[in-house]
Chains A and B, each alone.
Chain A
Amino acid sequence: MTAALQAQGLTRRYRTPGGGALVAVDALSFEVQPGEIVGILGPNGAGKTTALQLCLRLLHADAGEAKLFGLDPEDLSARRRVGYAPDAALFPKSLSGLQVLELHAQLLGVAREKAHGLVEQLNFGEPARRPTATYSRGQLQRLGLAQALLGDPDLLLLDEPTAGLDPAGVAQIRELLVGLRARGAAVLLNSHLLSEVERVCDRVLFMKGGRCLRVHDVKSGGQRAEVRLANGPQMAALLREKLPEGALDGDRFRIPVAGPEVVSAVVPALVRKLVELGAEVLEVKLGGAELEELYLQLVEGRA
């Protein structure tokens, strides 16, 4: 099956004022398959935005290439299938959000009504009738997202889609992305919100200094259980002895559990065992802070 997006050895240097060169993206290779959500995680300046722009050829790569659906990124039939929402998009100030969307609908050859429907779906009905000059950052973000979704894209690239949005907006975007995946679309998103990335992404690329440090498979990477104990400190020695694969951190005991399909069997067994050992279980959470730990380990270099 052709990848929706394939990047091969993408490299991009920026010239700095002193005459030097800054490597923004360094030999980056990855692909996004249809029906997959891939996240890029990394600190500010890691090259995440540049990577997206290179994929769409909004910037030319110094080396390497990107293909959209196996086609050149400038191929017009590929572009018809791509949606892109940049970080902090700006629109013609005197046009209303709806007029901007109508323009994009016409360019894509989709019915204008589609723009109206999308605006309602994104709870954006009232602001969409005002000139974009009056928009807040979150409203600009929503308009940027709406124009990206307009043509029912098969590949969606989102740069910090949740920045500037309220919690309801963030939840809505999560739902949207899951819906897109369900119909076979591919999504590549940049974010610094680890919890969001962990909740929706199938795979995560950790980037730092323009390089991909690791590709992490969120779903098959196993899960971990986080158990809050009322008597954690008293249990420390016993837990170390009986469950050495886990780690106690204050009142929280974190332990890897097998893949999601056997969680229903593993978690009750874990709780039973803890209770037998004399632990007073207050709360059990699945998923835990695995991505955060990986992020700190890989990107920040903390053990």
Chain B
Amino acid sequence: MNPFQDAPKGATPRVHGERSETVNQRDTPRLLYLLTAGAAGLWLLALLLGR
């Protein structure tokens, strides 16, 4: 059995029928930005409320 399938024109090729999840290795997860920004926001809020 051939595990490789030709992709139809214009479609992303697939391996073993899997969805191609091209993850750009340069990406930094958005969750990490959210957590950092969230913590920074809470800290600033605490500073403001503490005054």
Contact = CB atoms under 8 A, between A and B. Distances in A.
Are chains A and B touching directly in their complex (CB below 8 angstroms)?
Answer: yes
B4 A34 contact: yes
B2 interface: yes
B2 A71 contact: no
B33 to A, nearest CB: 21
Interface string A31-48: 000100000000000000
A30 to B, nearest CB: 17
- The number of chain B residues touching the other chain, given as a range, is 20 to 34
A69 B6 contact: no
A128 to B, nearest CB: 29
B4 A74 contact: no
Interface in A23-80: 34, 69-72, 74-78, 80
Contact of A75 (B3, B6, B16, B20): B20
Nearest to A72: B22
Determine the main DSSP class of B at the interface with A: loop
B13 A71 contact: yes
Contacts of A265: none
Interface residues of A, number: 17
Contact of A1 (B6, B12, B14, B18): B6
B23 to A, nearest CB: 5
B4 A69 contact: yes
A154 B4 contact: yes
B49 interface: no
Nearest to A74: B25
Interface in B15-41: 15-16, 18-25
Contacts of B19: 77
Can you list the 7 inter-chain pairs with the closest CB atoms, starting with the nearest?
A70-B13, A75-B22, A77-B18, A2-B4, A69-B15, A74-B25, A154-B3
24 contacts: A1-B4, A2-B5, A4-B4, A34-B4, A69-B4, A69-B15, A70-B4, A70-B13, A71-B15, A72-B22, A74-B23, A75-B22, A76-B21, A77-B14, A77-B15, A77-B18, A77-B19, A77-B20, A80-B15, A81-B3, A81-B15, A81-B16, A154-B3, A184-B2
